[in-house]
Amino acid sequence: MNIRSLVIKSVSATALVFSLFWQTSAFSTPCTSESTCVTINGEETSLSKEMARQSKEEWNEQRRLRQKVDSRKEKEFDKYEMEVDNREACLKSADINAYWEPSTKRCLDVNTGRPIKPQ
């Protein structure tokens, strides 16, 4: 009976040691794209949640800045487009006293120098 209990204890101890070695190798092996890894709780820690929140804030801030830059560019383009349209209208005007002043970007009367609306 002593030998039998000794054999059972040694087998169970060997099985325990073997399972610990197997678990150690499983935990020490890093996850790669080719391997299958099982994660518990999706590895969502408070640190990863905080990093995700900061990343989202940063993205939103950059988005706002991009929108400001885009709206500024759009305003500048609209201003340039209006200037081109006014210049063309002034040059095509039937009024012989109308001329385009490039420095002020206005259509002026030759005689008075006052701005006029071309027809």
Domains in the chain: how many in total? 1
What is the domain extent for residue 68? Answer: 62-118
CA 75 to chain centre: 23
Q: Is residue 90 part of a domain?
A: yes
Q: Is residue 10 part of a domain?
A: no
Q: Is residue 98 part of a domain?
A: yes
How confident is the model over 96-118, as pLDDT tens digits? 889 999 999 999 999 998 999 87
Q: How many other C-beta atoms lie within 10 A of the C-beta of residue 90?
A: 19
Is 60 exceeded by the pLDDT of residue 71? yes
What the block records as the tokens of 115 is 């701005």
Q: What b-and-e string marks burial along 1-26, b requiring 16 or more CB atoms within 10 Å of the CB?
A: eeeeeeeeeeeeeeeeeeeeeeeeee
Q: Is residue 91 part of a domain?
A: yes
For residue 9, what pLDDT is reported?
Answer: 74
Cα separation, 55 vs 89, whole angstroms: 51
For residue 17, what pLDDT is reported?
Answer: 63
Tell how strand 106-109 and strand 98-101 pair up.
antiparallel
Report pTM.
0.48
Q: Is residue 43 part of a domain?
A: no
Q: Is residue 4 part of a domain?
A: no
Is 90 exceeded by the pLDDT of residue 15? no
Average pLDDT, the chain: 82
Three-state helix/strand/coil letters over 52-90: HHHHHHHHHHHHHHHHHHHHHHHHHHHHHHHHHHHHHHH
Q: Is residue 54 part of a domain?
A: no
